[in-house]
Amino acid sequence: MRVDAGRIMKVNHAGEHGAVNIYAGQLAAAGWRARILVSELAEFKSHEERHRALFASELARRDLPRCRSYWLCGVGGYLLGFVTGLLGVRSIAIATVAVARVVLRHLEQQLLAIGTTDPHASAAISAILQEEQLHHDHSAAHVSDSGLLHRMLGAVISGATKSVIWIGMRLGRT
């Protein structure tokens, strides 16, 4: 099976743009509803900016344009972040856990698919795994006892994240 590492880098770049914007949206609302998370969100946003730059560098190295889903990820991410930010600490954490869980699984599958065929792509993906896990774990500590509405919110966000990845993989063809 042929693995298109260029397409993977394009989709990951768009996804990191979405993540930057999720945190930007959450930060915009956190001053009202979740001040306790502002420094953590700012730190996570800086991680995602670094991840986006890493994948942008890979695109430049490969002379590839951004994925066509880049702006969809950005706008959708900001809206998701702002709405969950307005809903407060637990909703912010649920969003982070839901997105990170899907992204971690997706990145692990990418590493398996790429194997040793593209060391640059493998290195870029491997470089962000630890921080993505950190985002998941820190946020999970805020949602130890979520109720039905919060579980439903997490399921919707996970489903939306999977859908955006699926769309990106189709739009990201090189």
pLDDT digits (tens, 9 = 90+) for 79-121: 999 999 999 999 999 999 999 999 999 999 999 999 889 999 9
CB atoms within 10 A of CB 84: 27
Q: 5-171 is classed in which CATH architecture?
A: Up-down Bundle (1.20)
Mean pLDDT of 43-67: 97
Per-residue pLDDT for 137 more than 60?
Answer: yes
- pLDDT of 172 reads 60
Mean pLDDT of 11-25: 97
Confidence grade of residue 149 (pLDDT, cut at 50, 70, 90)? confident
Q: What mean pLDDT is reported for the chain?
A: 93
What are φ and ψ of residue 142, in 5° steps? Answer: -85, -10
Whole-structure pTM value: 0.94
Q: What share of the chain is helix, strand, coil (3-state, %, to 5)?
A: 85, 0, 15
CB atoms within 10 A of CB 89: 18
Per-residue pLDDT for 126 more than 70?
Answer: yes
Per-residue pLDDT for 21 more than 90?
Answer: yes
Helical packing angle, 5-33 and 148-171, nearest 10°:
150
- The C-alpha atoms of residue 138 and residue 56 are separated, in whole angstroms, by 27
Per-residue pLDDT for 78 more than 70?
Answer: yes
In this structure, are residues 171 and 6 in contact, taking their beta carbons and an 8 Å threshold? no
- Return the percentage of the chain with pLDDT > 70, whole number: 96
